[in-house]
Structures are given as structure tokens and as C-alpha cells.
Amino acid sequence: MSEYSQDRRETTVANHLTPEELSKELGIERNDVIQFCYDEGVPIYQGKIDKTLFQAQFEVTNGATQPAAG
């Protein structure tokens, strides 16, 4: 393994989290995280969820359901 690959792996932040980890980071109940994934089609692969994909879908969904300011 090259030195570059080894350094990169050590500094890469995990982007796939368990529902428990994601619920703690975002302040959402674990069951709500799982239900949201089910409802919105966010995949849970081997017990882990892509945090970036979850957050993007969560923002789109919540932005669409909030009343317009005015």
C-alpha cells in the first residue's frame, strides 16, 4: 500500500452511520431515522446509512413541508 493511500484512509471521516449514531448527531429519535429512510427511500445497507444522503433528503423533505414565510 502506498504512503498516500495509508494517510488518506486515516484522515477520512466515516460517512456511513448506524441509525443510533445518526439520531445522536441530528437530534432525532432512532425510530424516526429508520422510518424516514423507509418512507423516503434512503437505503440502509448492512445496518448503516449514508449521512450525506440522509441529510440532503431530510432538508428537501422538511423544506417542502414548512409553511412559506410572509
14: confidence class by pLDDT, cuts 50, 70, 90: low
Give me the residue spans of the domains in the chain.
13-61
Residue range 27-60, pLDDT digits in tens:
999 999 999 999 999 999 999 999 999 999 999 9
Q: Say yes or no to pLDDT of 67 above 90.
A: no
42 Cβ partners below 8 Å, 6+ apart?
Answer: 36, 49, 50, 53, 54, 57
Chain position carrying cell 466515516: 14
- pTM over 0.85? The answer is no
Exposure of 63 in the CB half-sphere (CA atoms within 13 A): 6
